Amino acid sequence: MNYTLNQLRVFAKVVENESVTKASEVLHMTQPAVSIQLKKFQDQFEIPLTEIIGKRLYVTEFGRTIAEIAKNILSESEALQYKTKEFKGLLTGTLRIASASTGKYVMPYFLSAFSTSNPNVNLILDVSNKEHVVQGLKNNEIDFALVSVLPTDVEVHEELLVENKLFLISSREKIDSSKPLIFREKGSATRMAMDTYYGEKSRQKSIELTSNEAVKQAVISGLGYSILPLIGIKNELSNGELHIIPTKGLPVTTQWRLIWLKQKKLSPVSEAYLDFLRNHKDEIIREKFDWYDTYEHV
């Protein structure tokens, strides 16, 4: 048997995505290149790893077993890359974090100094909606997740960071009731907050968009109004493009928190990052998020 690490990597991604097309996108390879590597890997086994039924790719039971072994080999291979530096006393490895979309305004501030102090640590930060972030955590694809609402169907540890305040936002100082209410897509924490706030009230006209950035731009344009996290609209409030509308029951306040699986064995890099976070988070909050207080009693 003469497989390559690249073949293992390709096969693992094909299995993970159950699609050559999606695997090629993730790997930044062409579909033919992925198919060639998949065939070369398959040629080394007498038992099928995958099968095509109709136009859909299915992974066989044997294929899933081989995929697990492939992931372990890739993990060990990654560890080998860092051993020389470890013997020199340098912290090395990869820190994988997934963040709910609005967390992109939060997480970088809690990573910057750690990354600067540990130049041999690779950082992967994936930004998506809450539903996808939590799924990545459940699948043990990441070390930590940044969320504003705790998942209820998985046991996690947490480290609290900063508050997440959501206000009613408009491009004018008063709400134009003829304009529609703009929602995030289902599965996002902002959408959950809006659904909780508005309950079953009738919404004759509404718009649904797939990111807070898209919602923000729609509100700025005068398309409608929405409830948005304060953390993502600092500049727009300062230059007058957006206005907070004082409203009974608002802001909705949650808490940004870093979470990880209770049963997960943390890597040395993950342990080091947690130590850094616990020692420096108060200082980071004072330096980077003191402007929050300006809008405490809007």
What distance in Å separates the CA atoms of residue 290 and residue 268, rounded to the nearest whole number? 32
Domain end residue (candidates: 86, 106, 131): 86
Question: Helices 31-42 and 5-17 sit at what angle, rounded to 10 degrees?
Answer: 110
Co-location of 133 and 274 in the same domain: yes
Co-location of 171 and 152 in the same domain: no
Nearest to 253 by CA among 167, 160, 165: 165
Q: What is the mean pLDDT of residues 268-279?
A: 92
Co-location of 67 and 121 in the same domain: no
Q: What is the mean pLDDT of residues 115-133?
A: 91
Structural domain tally of the chain? 3
Looking at this protein, which amino acid is placed at residue 19?
S
pLDDT in tens, 153-164: 999 999 999 999
Which of 183-210 are b and which e, b meaning 16 or more Cβ less than 10 Å from the residue's Cβ? bbeebbbbbbbbeebeeeeeeeeeeebe
What is the band of 45 on the pLDDT scale with cuts at 50, 70, 90?
A: very high
Give the domain CATH number at 184.
3.40.190.10
What distance in Å separates the CA atoms of residue 114 and residue 149, rounded to the nearest whole number? 25
Least confident span in 112-116, 204-208, 210-214, 215-219? 204-208
Domain end residue (candidates: 86, 106, 126): 86
Tokens of 191: 């959408």
Co-location of 172 and 281 in the same domain: no
pLDDT at 200: 56
pLDDT at 203: 54
0.75 exceeded by the pTM? no
Beta bridge partners of 148: none
pLDDT at 120: 86
Which residues are CB-neighbours of 198 under 8 A, at least 6 positions away?
181
Co-location of 59 and 190 in the same domain: no
pLDDT at 202: 44
pLDDT at 155: 95
pLDDT at 188: 84
pLDDT over 60 at 296, yes or no: no
pLDDT at 265: 87
Domain end residue (candidates: 27, 53, 86): 86
Q: Are 224 and 177 in contact (CB under 8 A)?
A: no
Domain range enclosing 220: 164-254
What is the band of 298 on the pLDDT scale with cuts at 50, 70, 90?
A: very low
pLDDT over 50 at 262, yes or no: yes
Phi/psi region, residue 267 (left: phi>0; alpha: psi -120 to 50; beta: rest), is: beta
DSSP β-ladder status, 50-53 and 56-59: antiparallel
Co-location of 183 and 232 in the same domain: yes
pLDDT over 90 at 79, yes or no: no
Least confident span in 92-96, 105-109, 185-189, 233-237? 185-189
What is the band of 89 on the pLDDT scale with cuts at 50, 70, 90?
A: low
What distance in Å separates the CA atoms of residue 50 and residue 44, rounded to the nearest whole number? 13
Give the CA angle between residues 176, 177, 179 to the nearest 5°: 75
Look up tokens 């539903």; give the residue.
131
Co-location of 157 and 262 in the same domain: yes
pLDDT over 60 at 246, yes or no: yes
Co-location of 156 and 261 in the same domain: yes
Co-location of 28 and 104 in the same domain: no
* 156 phi and psi angles, rounded to 5 deg: -135, 160
pLDDT over 80 at 26, yes or no: yes
* 171 phi and psi angles, rounded to 5 deg: -80, -10
pLDDT over 50 at 287, yes or no: yes
Mean pLDDT of the chain: 89
